[in-house]
């Protein structure tokens, strides 16, 4: 029997690497779409690259034909659209580009599916940033959206075009509304990794100060390895639907600093410096998700709690620095 095939856009990102690992473990042939660049940056998937069940192909969310050609050539049964400009502050600096990738890119993938094979099952990486200035606490699948950044606005478009193509063309298309999820593979500009990495460097005497923005912002932080399993589960149901994926707990950036620094026997107040540069033009103050639907219909539950997540990231940062010869 031939393997099931899945196309993953954004395979070089945090989630793409965990999803690829998970799908390969399930026996899939994984087709990873990467955009062309002058230098190859496959750090997160380097350990998978030699596997016969992984094909890396060039394509871009900005280029419709590349998407159509990939679907024609590889004939996947499932497509996971994880590619996006995903850093919120950049979305104010590059709002049009963010809209092209993160919003219209979704339509390009959906159109490619509609044209090549409407039986393909589609997952869209939607975001809790769509809730923005929250209209309800906690947030569920029916909470109205009020995005607070060009990124959030683009994700609202991506969500609704997914729903629209499901309703217009009867596609099996799902939108996963995932709350913040982190890991040692998280980009260093995101606040969790920025804090755990700096705490580890301070512990080893490599720096003394950490400059941050709004310490009072609250997020529902989970572990990326858990969240990619929810993506897959969404595409294994009888009917397509949209799901919130979250832990149901919220913590502030200040608490994040406390947990990371105290784990290393440090006092964050002696190192953290507030820098206006990291404040946003419009902030998302509080996110907390209610994932009851994912629990009951998908049987999905997170396995890593907030302190456990932060400690595993600190441990990984320390380990990486020691491997580089520090400490």
Out of 3, 4, 35, 280, the residue judged to bind ligand NAP by CB under 6 A: 35
| HSE toward the beta carbon, residue 121, CA cutoff 13 A | 17
Out of 180, 183, 229, 247, the residue judged to bind ligand F7E by CB under 6 A: 180
**Which partner, ligand F7E, ligand NAP, none, binds residue 120 by CB below 5 to 8 Å per kind?**
none
C-alpha 221/C-alpha 234 separation (Å) is 20
169: annotated active-site residue? no
Q: How many CB atoms lie within 10 A of CB 224?
A: 22
Residues numbered 262-301 forming contacts with ligand NAP, rule: CB under 6 A: none
Phi, psi of 48, rounded to the nearest 5 degrees: -105, -15
Asked whether the beta carbons of 252 and 216 are under 8 A apart, the reply is yes
Phi, psi of 15, rounded to the nearest 5 degrees: -70, -40
**Which partner, ligand F7E, ligand NAP, none, binds residue 213 by CB below 5 to 8 Å per kind?**
ligand F7E
**Which partner, ligand NAP, ligand F7E, none, binds residue 194 by CB below 5 to 8 Å per kind?**
ligand F7E
Out of 108, 121, 166, 181, the residue judged to bind ligand NAP by CB under 6 A: 181
Nearest approach in angstroms of CB 312 to ligand F7E is: 17
Asked whether the beta carbons of 251 and 186 are under 8 A apart, the reply is no
127: annotated active-site residue? yes
Residues numbered 129-148 forming contacts with ligand F7E, rule: CB under 6 A: 129
Q: How many CB atoms lie within 10 A of CB 276?
A: 8
Nearest approach in angstroms of CB 129 to ligand NAP is: 7
C-alpha 125/C-alpha 174 separation (Å) is 9
**Residue 82 interacts with ligand NAP (CB under 6 A): yes or no:** yes
Q: Which of 17, 127, 128, 183 is catalytic?
A: 127
Residue 311 token pair: 């400690």
Out of 7, 13, 88, 229, the residue judged to bind ligand NAP by CB under 6 A: 13
Q: At a CB cut-off of 8 Å and minimum separation 6, what does 174 contact?
A: 121, 122, 123, 124, 162, 234, 235, 240, 241, 242, 243
Nearest approach in angstroms of CB 53 to ligand F7E is: 28
129: annotated active-site residue? yes
Asked whether the beta carbons of 204 and 318 are under 8 A apart, the reply is yes
Q: Which of 21, 28, 80, 129 is catalytic?
A: 129
Map residues 263-292 to x or -, x wherever contact with ligand F7E holds by CB under 6 A. Answer: ---------------x-x--xx--------
Nearest to 145 by CA among 154, 158, 160, 135: 135
- Estimate to the nearest angstrom the gap between the alpha carbon of 311 and the chain centroid: 20
CA angle 5, 232, 150 (to 5 degrees): 105
Q: At a CB cut-off of 8 Å and minimum separation 6, what does 123 contact?
A: 78, 79, 80, 81, 174, 176, 231, 234, 235
Q: Residue 78 or residue 220: which is nearer to ligand F7E going by CB?
A: 220
**Residue 12 interacts with ligand NAP (CB under 6 A): yes or no:** yes
**Residue 113 interacts with ligand NAP (CB under 6 A): yes or no:** no
Map residues 190-209 to x or -, x wherever contact with ligand F7E holds by CB under 6 A. Answer: xx--x---------------
Asked whether the beta carbons of 218 and 252 are under 8 A apart, the reply is yes
**Which partner, ligand NAP, ligand F7E, none, binds residue 41 by CB below 5 to 8 Å per kind?**
ligand NAP
Active site residue ranges: 127, 129, 151
- Chain residues binding ligand F7E by CB under 6 A are 86, 88, 127-129, 179-180, 189-191, 194, 212-214, 217, 219, 253, 278, 280, 283-284
């Amino acid at each position: 029997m031939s393997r099931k095939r899945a196309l993953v856009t954004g395979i070089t990102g945090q989630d793409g690497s965990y999803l690829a690992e998970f799908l390969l473990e399930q026996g899939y042939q994984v087709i990873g779409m990467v955009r062309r660049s002058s230098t190859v940056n496959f750090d997160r998937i380097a350990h998978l690259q030699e596997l016969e069940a992984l094909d890396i192909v060039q394509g871009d969310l900005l280029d419709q034909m590349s998407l159509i050609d990939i679907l024609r050539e590889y004939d996947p049964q499932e497509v996971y659209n994880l590619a996006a400009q995903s850093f919120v502050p950049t979305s104010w600096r590059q709002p049009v580009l963010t809209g092209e990738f993160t919003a219209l890119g979704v339509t390009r993938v959906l159109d490619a599916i509609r044209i090549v094979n409407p039986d393909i099952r589609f997952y869209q990486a939607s975001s809790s940033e769509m809730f923005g200035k929250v209209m309800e606490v906690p947030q569920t699948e029916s909470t109205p959206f009020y995005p607070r950044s060009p990124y959030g606005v683009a994700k609202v478009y991506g969500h609704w075009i997914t729903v629209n193509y499901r309703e217009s063309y009867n596609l099996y298309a799902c939108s996963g509304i995932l709350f913040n999820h982190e890991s040692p593979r998280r980009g260093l500009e995101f606040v969790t990794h920025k804090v755990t990495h700096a705490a580890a460097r301070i512990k080893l005497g490599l720096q003394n100060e950490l400059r941050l923005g709004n310490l009072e912002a609250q997020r529902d932080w989970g572990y990326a390895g858990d969240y990619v399993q929810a993506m897959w589960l969404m595409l294994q149901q009888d009917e397509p639907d949209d799901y919130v994926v979250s832990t149901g707990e919220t913590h502030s950036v200040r608490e994040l600093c406390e947990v990371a620094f105290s784990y290393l026997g440090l006092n964050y107040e002696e190192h953290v410096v507030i820098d206006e540069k990291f404040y946003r033009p419009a902030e998302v103050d509080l996110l907390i998700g209610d994932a009851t639907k994912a629990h009951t219909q998908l049987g999905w539950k997170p396995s890593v709690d907030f302190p456990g997540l932060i400690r595993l990231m600190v441990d990984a940062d320390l380990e990486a620095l020691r491997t580089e010869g520090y400490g």
